[in-house]
Structures are given as structure tokens and as C-alpha cells.
Amino acid sequence: MSLQFHKTHVLYIEARQKGEGHSLSVSATPSHQCLLSSHRPLVMASPRLKYLSLGVLVFQTTSLVLTMRYSRTLQAEGPRYLASSAVVVAEVMKILTCVLLVFKEHNYSMRALNSLLRQEIAHKPIETLKLAIPSGIYTLQNNLLYVALSNLDAATYQVTYQLKILTTALFSVSMLGRRLGVYQWLSLLILMVGVALVQWPSESAAAPEQEALSAGSQFVGVTAVLVACFSSGFAGVYFEKILKESKQSVWVRNIQLGMFGLVFGLFGMLSYDGERVRESGMFQGYSTVTWTVVALQALGGLVIAAVIKYADNILKGFATSLSIILSTLISYFWLQDFDPTSVFFMGAVLVIAATFLYGYEGKPSPNPSRA
């Protein structure tokens, strides 16, 4: 799924159903984008809840991409906000949100909350340190998504970022021993062709200097998205592997992720933007739009985690497709930074088709790696 958010931080939920062996994994990225290995919702929901979930999911994925793009290209007085600062603030908000959820799960008992966090984090340093690797990768990914949307229009970003489906699938095969069906492999092939068409250079009547500058910006943006897709796939599968090996709450795991993410984020901010932070503070250039982006990043994964409870892969694919269409239309009519070509539309259609095909439930193939 597209950005979920494009979050920035990936939120993962792993649910195993006894006797069926289904698992569910949710990643948010500026996802963006969620990738589900389960074909069914976790609970049977009414049609109203399903379509409400669809609406929330479309709003989340579309609004995050568009507001982030708008915030990075908006010409305003004063300095532009620091992307590294926004990543740090989003981590703080995510940690606080997860702490509140754990607090609620324990009947609002401060004593129980303190005991749990002390037992699961302070008293299990090895388990906690396992989260340092995916957390560092997620922090890098979050910063890369700001770079991508500073150089790419929202529509191109949305479509290209669907390559995380490919990377996640490949890492799932290599690290978790999963087996993909014929439809899944076919969808990955279609996905690669579709993304290649989206990146196909279009004829431009601009001056050579401007065209060269645009090509350079496009290269930087696409490179950032590709690295983010690769890191998203690896970190997501690595996190799923950790979740399956422990019985800790997913919210506790995300608190641990957030703690490391905060440390890595602060280190990156001070290393890359330290001088600007010392001169004007870490909140320089913040506006209502900036805070909206940060909030969508921090809460996006939580929203998707709740939505997926009632959704299935078909709804997820429909939400992703609708989000891509909306991003394209809004980029063209509102942001006016995107001029689609017939080749782009052809590629977008292939990516949307691949998204649906990947979630198609054919005959399950046996997985010898599972007992």
C-alpha cells in the first residue's frame, strides 16, 4: 500500500490464526503502504465498517503524500522546515500514542504500565537491542521519503513506491521461507513493467538548462524512493521475524522501535542540520501544514492497523488504486506540478492491476518451511 503513510515508521501487526496459519503484516510508510500476507480480515465486519475502513485508508494514504509534497514545495517566507526535525517529532508522537494504547490495555493503571515497560524494555536488553536494526533503517527511510517528495510529484511517487510490494515479497521468500503463488509472481512482473513505464522520460519543450535540472531532480527523487522501497522491504520482514519469535505486545515493540528511532533521528538531525538547529531551533519553518504532515506520519500506522482489522486484500488494493488516482488528479488540478502522459497512465494502470493481482486468493501453495 502506498505510503502509509508514507509513516514514516513501519507499524507491524502479526496475527496467527490457529489451524489456518494466516499472518497479517501492516507497514506504513509515508504507506505509505501496507502489505498484507493475509487474504482475509481479522474479524467479520459489516459492509458499513468495511467501506468506512476503505474511506479512512484512502484519506490517510492520499493526504499524507499530498500534504508532504505541498509542504516541501510551498513557497513561504522564512526558512523551510527541517525534514530531519519532522522525523524526530513524529517519533515522539508515535511513542506517546503507543504508551497511551498500552496504558488503556492495562485499565489505565500507572503501576501496571510502569511495571510492564520496566519488565519488557529495561529487564530484557537483548530483546530491546534487536529493534535497533529495523529502527535505524526506518529512520533512514523516513528521511528519504522527504527527499523523494521534494523532487517528485505526488503521483509519480505514489506509483513508484508500490515497488515495496516487490522488495517485501522477495525478502519474505528469502528470510521467512514463504512461497509465492503464480498470481503473486505474475503481479510482481507486471509491477516492475508498470513502474518502468511511469519513469519513462516524456518529451519536454523546456529550455535545455531547465530540462537538465528537472532530470537531475527526477533522478534524486527516484533514487530516494528505490532505496526507501528496499529498506522498507528488509526492515518490515526483519521486524515480522522478530515479532514471530517473541510474545511481546505489538505496541510495546513499537515503543522500542520509537525509542531507537528517536535516538537515530536526533543523531541524524544534529549531524546533518546541527548548524541550522543551533541558529534557528528545530521548529524553524513549522506551520499548520507541517504539523499536519507530522501528525499523519505518527498516527498513520495506527490508523491502518485499526482499519485492516475489518478489511481484506481486495479492499486494500482498491484503496491503494483509488489513492493513486486521487493523487494524480489533485497533483494535476491543485498542486499543478504534474503533467501526465499516456505512457504514465499505462504504467499506472499496470501497477494498479498488479496490486489487485497480488492480493488475489488462488489455491494456496504448501509452505515446507512451516510446520
- Residue-wise pLDDT for 122-148, tens only, equals 888 888 898 999 999 999 999 999 999
Q: Is the pLDDT at 303 greater than 70, yes or no?
A: no
Average pLDDT, the chain: 78
Of residues 77 and 107, the one with the higher pLDDT is: 107
The crossing angle, in degrees rounded to 10, of helices 313-330 and 342-358 is 160
Amino acid at 238: Y
The crossing angle, in degrees rounded to 10, of helices 182-198 and 164-176 is 140
Q: What pLDDT score was predicted for residue 304? A: 63
- Cβ(25)–Cβ(242) under 8 Å? no
Alpha-carbon dihedral angle through residues 360, 156, 348, 316, given to the nearest 10 degrees? 30
Please state whether 19 falls in left (phi above 0), alpha (psi between -120 and 50) or beta.
Answer: left
The crossing angle, in degrees rounded to 10, of helices 342-358 and 164-176 is 30
Of residues 319 and 327, the one with the higher pLDDT is: 327
Gap between the Cα atoms of 231 and 140, Å rounded: 8
Which residues, at least 6 apart from 142, have a Cβ–Cβ distance to it below 8 Å?
Answer: 7, 8, 9, 30, 87, 90, 265, 297
Q: Is the pLDDT at 284 greater than 90, yes or no?
A: yes
First-residue to last-residue Cα distance in the chain: 29
Query: What phi, psi does 254 have (nearest 5°)?
Result: -75, -25
Average pLDDT over residues 263-280: 94
Single out the residue of 37, 41, 9 nearest to residue 228, CA to CA: 9
Gap between the Cα atoms of 250 and 56, Å rounded: 22
DSSP 9: S
Question: 3-class SS at 2?
Answer: strand
- Cβ(177)–Cβ(346) under 8 Å? no
The crossing angle, in degrees rounded to 10, of helices 250-280 and 208-244 is 140
Q: Which three cell numbers stand for residue 328?
A: 494524480
Of residues 74 and 308, the one with the higher pLDDT is: 74
- Cβ(34)–Cβ(4) under 8 Å? yes
Q: What pLDDT score was predicted for residue 110? A: 93
Gap between the Cα atoms of 230 and 29, Å rounded: 13
Average pLDDT over residues 17-28: 37
Gap between the Cα atoms of 273 and 266, Å rounded: 10
Which residues, at least 6 apart from 362, have a Cβ–Cβ distance to it below 8 Å?
Answer: 181, 182, 183
- Cβ(91)–Cβ(269) under 8 Å? no
32-60 residue pLDDT tens:
333 334 445 555 556 777 777 778 878 88
Gap between the Cα atoms of 320 and 231, Å rounded: 20
Percentage of the chain exceeding pLDDT 70: 75
Of residues 78 and 274, the one with the higher pLDDT is: 274
pLDDT band at 369 (very low <50, low <70, confident <90, very high): very low
Which residues, at least 6 apart from 113, have a Cβ–Cβ distance to it below 8 Å?
Answer: 99, 102, 103, 106
DSSP bridge partners of 3: 32
Percentage of the chain exceeding pLDDT 90: 33
